[in-house]
Amino acid sequence: MTARFPTSPVFPCATAARYTIRMGKKREDIVNIRALAIMLVAFGHSIIIYSSGWNLYSTTVQAPLLDHVKNVINMLQMPLFFSVSGFCLVFTLKRGDALNARAFLWSKFRRVLLPFLIIGCCWMLPIRLLLGYPGYELHPDCWTAIMQIR
């Protein structure tokens, strides 16, 4: 028996439990590994300013220990996410009600890529352009092309 969770049209599987619940048994090990990976990402992003490899903004504070911790986190977090994702994908594809390839890709597009594109294009890009973020300046020819569209 598979547990049912509320879904939304934009995010059909709104909970992590969809990947970890099989026949009524929750995979606590997968949930814990995912939680650890998320905490690593949050901690890694909070100490990134002390990393010597991040040259977007300079800091007057040097923290060699945090620099080493950030390097270790960088080595662990992406392989961990890919491994857990692949592990969960195998269970998704082996389900009796598994989707065909087209439906599966459309589901992933709707859940992952569509929100990324909407937030990136409608929220992050305009804010970064307006604030003059380094690397997000528009070339003068772009403004000319945009004004000629009208």
Q: Tell me the domain boundaries of the chain.
A: 1-98, 99-150
> At residue 16, what is the residue type?
A
User: What pLDDT, in 10s, does the model give residues 84-119?
Assistant: 988 888 877 776 555 677 888 888 889 999 999 998
Higher per-residue confidence, 138 vs 3: 138
SS3 category, 103: helix
pLDDT of residue 75: 92
pLDDT of residue 128: 81
Q: Is the pTM of the predicted complex or chain greater than 0.95?
A: no
**Nearby residues of 7 by Cβ (< 8 Å), 6 or more positions away:** 13, 14
User: What pLDDT, in 10s, does the model give residues 34-73?
Assistant: 899 999 999 998 988 877 777 767 777 778 898 899 889 9
